[in-house]
């Protein structure tokens, strides 16, 4: 299995080596400057985002960037939201086997594998139909604001997720608790998938718009927390499910989702003011 992985990776590395182009504007402009400089050694050039500090100083500054961005209240909250979602997703996914392989379902592992299609289809339909609307909403709100764009204009659609997530979690929790028909249980994960993708996308776009040139750092700050929680929660989930049962166990995630659900709405209205109160210097 690892060999297949190694071959596929090697293939992609080669393609990347041949076709992947530099996209980071300050680097490209830097190259351009050097070309011009060679042609005109006496001329002086500069470009937007130019940074003449030595590499070590630049690195020290840039390594701080994800942390500095991460402790922004909005980023912190929305990362907590994503962390909760990822923790929930992994906990449910890793337990599908133990739920559905047992009485009364008695699925074999292939059938359990097919169950993942339900959230998967939710993911796909969401990306297909809902996510492009994030741009639509963003553009319309920008237009209404006399062409002035705000990162907060990414958030309205996140409210769909804020409703779908807790709803689908409670639905899944209690249909599984009473061992209802598998299709009734899994239908919940379809809506969960829709919701997860919408939140994930709105938040990522919000980060990028807020920190444009340092978008990668902003996303990185958020992803650390998400991965840590996503990695640890599934380890503590099974004992919790054992103690509380799936009903209350999964509902616990549902309650947390209810608690953090209003965040996109709050930031939509108060985001600009919060950003003003916590100014950033990233260069």
User: How is residue 145 written in tokens?
Assistant: 């604001």
Interface residue with other proteins among 145, 184, 213, 272 (CB under 8 A) is 213
Interface residue with other proteins among 163, 224, 258, 265 (CB under 8 A) is 224
Q: Is 228 in the site for other proteins (CB under 8 A)?
A: yes
List the interface residues with other proteins, window 14-43 (CB under 8 A). Answer: 15-17, 19-25, 27-36, 38-43
Interface residue with other proteins among 209, 244, 245, 270 (CB under 8 A) is 209
Q: Is 1 in the site for other proteins (CB under 8 A)?
A: yes
> Cβ closer to other proteins: 96 or 174?
96
Say if residues 72 and 84 touch (Cβ distance below 8 Å): no
> Cβ closer to other proteins: 228 or 259?
228
Map tokens 């919940």 to a residue.
188
Task: Show the beta-strand stretches assigned E in 66-201.
Answer: none
Interface residue with other proteins among 149, 187, 240, 258 (CB under 8 A) is 149
List the interface residues with other proteins, window 42-61 (CB under 8 A). Answer: 42-48, 51, 55, 58-59
Q: Per-residue x/- mask for other proteins, residues 72 to 111, rule CB under 8 A? A: -----------------xx--xx-x------------x--
> Cβ closer to other proteins: 89 or 174?
89
**Where do the H-state alpha helices sit in 211-262?**
215-260
What 148-153 contacts at long range (C-beta under 8 Å, 24+ apart), as own/partner pairs, is: 149/209, 150/209, 150/271, 150/272, 151/206, 151/209, 151/210, 151/271, 152/206, 152/267, 152/268, 152/271, 152/272
> Cβ closer to other proteins: 239 or 255?
239
CB of 216 to other proteins, least distance (A): 3
The footprint of other proteins on this chain (CB under 8 A) covers a number of residues equal to 101
CA triplet 159, 165, 169: central angle to 5 degrees?
160
Q: Is 3 in the site for other proteins (CB under 8 A)?
A: yes
- List the one residue out of 181, 174, 187, 188 whose CA is nearest residue 107: 181
Tell me how far the alpha carbon of residue 36 is from its chain's centroid: 40
Burial of 55 (0-12, 13-18, 19+ CB in 10 A): exposed
> Cβ closer to other proteins: 230 or 249?
230
Interface residue with other proteins among 76, 127, 258, 280 (CB under 8 A) is 127
Q: How is 196-219 classified by DSSP, letter by letter? A: HHHHHHHHHHHHHHHSGGGHHHHH
Q: Is 71 in the site for other proteins (CB under 8 A)?
A: no
Q: Is 231 in the site for other proteins (CB under 8 A)?
A: yes
> Cβ closer to other proteins: 34 or 102?
34
How far is Cα 212 from Cα 206, in angstroms, rounded to an integer?
10
Residue 99: Cβ within 10 Å count: 20
């Amino acid at each position: 299995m690892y060999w297949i992985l190694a071959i596929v990776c090697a293939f992609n590395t080669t393609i990347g080596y041949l076709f992947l182009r530099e996209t980071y504007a300050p680097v490209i402009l830097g190259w351009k400057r050097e070309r011009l400089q060679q042609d005109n050694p006496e001329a002086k050039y500069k470009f937007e985002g130019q940074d003449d500090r030595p590499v070590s100083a630049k690195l020290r500054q840039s390594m701080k960037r994800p942390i500095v961005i991460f402790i922004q209240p909005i980023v912190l909250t929305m990362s907590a939201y994503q962390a909760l979602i990822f923790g929930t997703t992994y906990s449910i996914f890793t337990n599908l086997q133990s739920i559905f392989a047992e009485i009364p379902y008695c699925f074999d592992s292939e059938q359990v594998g097919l169950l993942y299609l339900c959230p998967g289809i939710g993911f796909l339909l969401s990306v297909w139909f809902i996510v492009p609307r994030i741009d639509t909403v963003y553009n319309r709100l920008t237009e209404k604001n006399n062409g002035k764009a705000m990162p907060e204009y990414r958030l309205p659609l996140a409210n769909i997720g804020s409703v779908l997530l807790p709803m689908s979690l409670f639905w899944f929790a209690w249909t599984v608790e009473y061992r209802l028909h598998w299709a009734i249980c899994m239908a919940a994960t379809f809506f969960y998938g829709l919701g997860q993708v919408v939140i994930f996308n709105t938040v990522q776009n919000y980060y990028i718009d807020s920190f444009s040139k340092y978008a990668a750092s902003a996303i990185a700050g958020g992803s650390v927390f998400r991965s840590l929680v996503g990695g640890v929660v599934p380890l503590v989930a099974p004992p919790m499910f054992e103690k509380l049962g799936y009903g209350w166990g999964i509902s616990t995630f549902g309650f947390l989702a209810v608690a953090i659900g209003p965040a996109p709405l709050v930031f939509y209205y108060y985001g600009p003011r919060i950003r003003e109160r916590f100014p950033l210097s990233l260069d």
